[in-house]
Amino acid sequence: MSEFCLLRPAVWSPEGELQEAFVHVREGRVARLEAYAGQVVPPGVPALDAAGLIVTPGWIDIQFNGAYGQDFTDDPEAIWAVAESLPRTGCAAFLPTIITAPLAVARRAMQVLRQGPPPGWKGALPLGLHLEGPFLNPDKRGAHNPLHIRLPDAAALQDWTRDNGVLLATLAPEIPGGLQAVRMLTAQGVAVSLGHSNADFDQAQAAFNAGARVVTHLYNAMPALGHRAPGLAGAALTHAQVFAGLIADGIHCHPAMLQLAWRMMGAHRVCLVTDAMAALGMPPGVYRLGDFDVTVDENSARLADGRLAGSVLTLEQALRNVMRWCDLSLAQALPALTSTPAAVLGLPEWGRVARGLPANLTLVDGQGRVQMTVAAGEMVFNRLSQA
């Protein structure tokens, strides 16, 4: 459904809130957004009763490895199929994440995005790639294959550009060539994130000064936060311009540490991410993440030695978790999966709801449960009935 009206929802956006609204989506954009006053719906245009619901900017997940049995590193061609089902979780857009692998895998993923979706496709929008590795510290590799971890150089990075669809890259700044890689990628329009790293506080600060502005899954795959050795986590928490991804599943970090990050950084520096892997949306079992088999139960995904290997978290559950653990209202928590990831990626038309902007929307009830997802003006998931 590409043209429709929503009647009487509240609308949340960084610009403010509208308690009862009339929203008309047409030709991929928000054609009308105004206070509801019994407006006449254009003939033939479906109108949906959204009273009691909240329209938010479309949710964005900047770290997403796969779902529904498909792993993007194992098969980049699965991106479009996974994206078709993803809107049921509230996700309107995401960064398909390619973890450590031969460089040819990243090039294949770039080609998949360049070729575009199959005819008739509708789903969450893959905005570009997140390349997590292979320029990592092997001592903090987590579920990344050490056989493919390597040092960065100009030849390896030359096609990692925004024009080629690379929006975010995770690397370890302390490895030889790490700072040069930060500078090169930043110059190529790529947001650089620090992760899978043993960087100390000073090394992290040097990387931030070189252009890095994000930290990947804060607290995980980095030195523990210490009172004498604050490390990468401490550098991120205390740097006023740095963003951090957080996996709010209660497994990757304790709720108390999530509260600490929220108090230090707030919703305008924290990005809620899922780090979801192929088991999302599937029953417990054994699934792939890159080169490894991962055993998944109802709550977590782990390698044979017990190390965490992604998650089975959704953005919907992450939002509800952070609201509960940090005692936040929906409006207080929403920037962390709307306007903040849009700022990380430099996407000014995302993270907002306003007349004339592209219609990328997620509708929820007061508890953050997803009722509808709209991507590029297309209703790609809907639980509502017509008025």
pLDDT tens digits for range 83-120: 999 999 999 999 999 999 999 999 999 999 999 999 99
Of the pLDDT bands very low, low, confident and very high (cuts 50, 70, 90), residue 292 is confident
**Residue-wise burial string across 287-297, b where 16 or more C-beta atoms lie within 10 A, e elsewhere:** bbbbbbebbbe
In whole angstroms, what is the distance from residue 277 CA to residue 291 CA? 13
Asked if residues 124 and 362 have their Cβ atoms less than 8 Å apart, the reply is no
> Which string of DSSP letters, residue by residue, matches 177-195?
THHHHHHHHHHTTPEEEE-
Question: What confidence score (pLDDT) does residue 296 get?
Answer: 87
Residues 6+ apart with CB under 8 A from 327: none
* Identity of the amino acid at 250: G
**pLDDT value for 119:** 95
Tokens of residue 258, six digits: 């999530």
Strand pairing of 16-18 and 59-64? Answer: unpaired
In the predicted model, what is the mean pLDDT of residues 358-371? 95
**Span 201-221, average pLDDT:** 98
pLDDT digits (tens, 9 = 90+) for 28-83: 999 999 999 999 999 999 999 999 999 999 999 999 999 999 999 999 999 999 99
Mean pLDDT within 176-185: 98
Contact (CB, 8 A) for 368 and 362: no
pLDDT at 367: 87
Residue 351 is encoded by which pair of tokens? Answer: 């993270």
Cα 104 to Cα 298: distance, rounded to the nearest angstrom: 33
Q: Are strands 21-26 and 4-7 parallel, antiparallel or unpaired?
A: antiparallel
Distance from C-alpha of 263 to C-alpha of 381, rounded to nearest angstrom: 34
Average pLDDT over all residues of the chain? 96
CA neighbor of 369 nearest in space, from 329, 327, 321, 320? 320
pLDDT greater than 90 at residue 27? yes
Give the pLDDT band of residue 305 (cuts 50, 70, 90).
Answer: confident
User: What pLDDT score was predicted for residue 288?
Assistant: 85
Q: What is the CA radius of gyration of the chain?
A: 20
Residue 387 scores a pLDDT above 80: no
As to burial, measured by CB atoms within 10 angstroms (0-12 exposed, 13-18 middle, 19+ buried), residue 68 is middle
CB 343 within 8 A of CB 331: no
* Position 183 confidence tier, pLDDT thresholds 50, 70, 90: very high
Q: What is the pLDDT of residue 386?
A: 79
What is the distance between the alpha carbons of residues 72 and 358, in angstroms, rounded to a whole number? Answer: 27
Q: What is the pLDDT of residue 331?
A: 93
Quote the CA–CA distance of 173 and 215 in Å, as a whole number. Answer: 11
Give 299's pLDDT tier (boundaries 50, 70, 90).
confident
Higher pLDDT, 347 or 366: 347
Q: Helices 178-187 and 201-210 sit at what angle, rounded to 10 degrees?
A: 30
> How far is 146 from 138, CA to CA, in rounded Å?
6
Q: Tell me the whole-structure pTM to 2 decimals.
A: 0.96
Strands 129-132 and 191-194 come out as unpaired
Name the residues annotated as catalytic: 275
Distance CA 8, CA 20 (A): 5
Structure tokens given for 366: 């007061």
User: Do residues 30 and 374 make contact, with C-beta atoms less than 8 angstroms apart?
Assistant: no
pLDDT band at 255 (very low <50, low <70, confident <90, very high): very high
Domains of the chain (ranges plus CATH)? 4-56+352-382 (2.30.40.10), 59-345 (3.20.20.140)
Q: Vertex 183, ends 182 and 184: CA angle to 5°? A: 95
- Write down the pLDDT at residue 308: 87
- Give the percent of the chain with pLDDT over 70: 99
Helix 315-325 vs helix 255-265: crossing angle, to nearest 10? 80
pLDDT single digits (tens) 218-246: 999 999 999 999 999 999 999 999 999 99
